[in-house]
Amino acid sequence: MTEVRTVIETVINQKELPEKFVEYVNGKTTKTENGKGGRPHFLALLKEHGRDPKEELLNICEQAWIKGRTLGNIAKNYDTNGKTLYRVLKEIEPLKDEIAEYIRTVPRRKRWYIREIDASDYENVQNYINRAKRDGLRAYKERIQRARTVWTALNYQDPAYWNADDVCTYLATLTPGSQSGALDAIRQVAPQIAIKGSRDQVQTGRFREKLARRKKDIFGNEVNLIHRALEEHPELRLKFDLHITLGAREGAKDPNSGLAGLRWDKFKDGFTKADLYESKVRGGINWRDCPLDLFFKDLPERLKTLWTQRGKPTSDRVFLKGYTEVKNTYKQIREILEQYYTGKVDPSLLKEFITLRPHDADKIHVNLLWEAEIPLEVVGGQYIGKSEGVGSMGRGWLDINVIKKHYLSLTSRSERMQKLQNQVRVYSQRFNGHTEDEHKAVLEDTSSANCPDPLKDVIIV
């Protein structure tokens, strides 16, 4: 964290509180020697009641000048009226720009999270806490804790003033695997980072691309290559096939969710279907009747065999150690693929194999269904309501735009994309001097063409 702070502090320009501001506060809170004078000043009354007049005046400036609150609403917190605050702010208005800059950049005496009362001194964090309680979110305290590390690295700056440059500078100091989670936590407590069109918006998709976090270019042919490498490792292949068939999230957060939380009692109809619980969206959704014989007709039988070998358990997990075992499974698969295909396949494909992660399975799932020409509306499943849905093609998505933006990979590596490109070439014959008979001949030739060899243009001889 020391290194992170060093990086970030080069971005933050620390300011001193304007001297005239300090003099003004001291002048209004110090009694004269002769004791003469009228009613005590507003700031002097704050001091008499044990409140720090300097900090309270900064809070008032922040609410009025930066957050745009009305003076009447601010005054309610100080048992006074808007006219009083208007006179105070008018007296220090020449210092407005300096004070605003100080508020935005200098740490104040605020607490990030008060565990005893489940609250925060920061308005943005408190708003997230209230929203999380209302929506029944389970992991909000973990997100607050993640965002706390950003707050510390940004020198205890109010999240309302975090900007895109500071956030991206911080994220660049993290490991690739932790950047996405950190960005998600940041966006929860700093709305300007999440709101579309905000000057300081950090778009998740664009940011992930910047950090080489991208969609997976793995389709049917590539899955066959993975199977070839896993021929001597049937259990690894079984777990991989199960994952890309369900398209399940890996279950890193909730031990009862996703692939990591899948138990044997969730299989039914001779292991041809499964009920999958996922806790990430809308407080948790049970996707019922997800088919398991979509891609691999022998998958139900292989699952039944493994279940029998383990003594026909009723409630044990398929992945006995939960998410830890899911991670280890993919680590083993990566090592096998690297050893099997190094120097034998195109470098870009080898990179796809050696960077295979649990989070890529739902992307492969979507790619395979798209290549099979399944409409995305069907891929998305049917959400019934009350935390229930029907997984028509595996786990569901509530919005097909999410599939398009974050999961589906539209590349020429897909057979379907090659077919579509051929269709356009055939269609374009009419614009390039071909007669109608020639156009029909090309169309018939294309439609009767055999599917390409899965290993063609992939294996290096």
Averaged pLDDT for residues 300-329: 94
pLDDT at 110: 76
List pLDDT tens digits, range 417-450. 888 888 888 888 778 776 666 656 655 665 544 4
20 to each of 16, 26, 27, how far by Cα in Å?
11, 10, 10
Concatenated DSSP letters for 220-262? HHHHHHHHHHTTT-HHHHHHHHHHHHHT----SS-TTSTTTT-
List pLDDT tens digits, range 246-266. 999 988 778 889 999 999 999
Residue 229 or 56, more confident = 229
Q: Specify burial of residue 151 (Cβ count, 10 A radius: 0-12, 13-18, 19+).
A: buried
Q: Is the pLDDT of residue 212 over 70?
A: no
Mean pLDDT of the chain: 83
Q: What is the C-alpha radius of gyration for the chain, rounded to an integer number of angstroms?
A: 30
Q: What single DSSP character describes residue 64? A: I
User: Global pTM?
Assistant: 0.54
Closest to 364 measured CA to CA, from 353, 375, 377: 353
Residue 457 or 49, more confident = 49
pLDDT at 189: 92
**pLDDT confidence tier of residue 291, bands split at 50, 70 and 90:** very high
List pLDDT tens digits, range 345-354. 988 899 889 9
Residue 278 or 445, more confident = 278
Least confident of 117-121, 308-312, 409-413: 409-413
Rounded to whole angstroms, how far apart are CA atoms 59 and 23? 17
Q: Specify burial of residue 347 (Cβ count, 10 A radius: 0-12, 13-18, 19+).
A: exposed
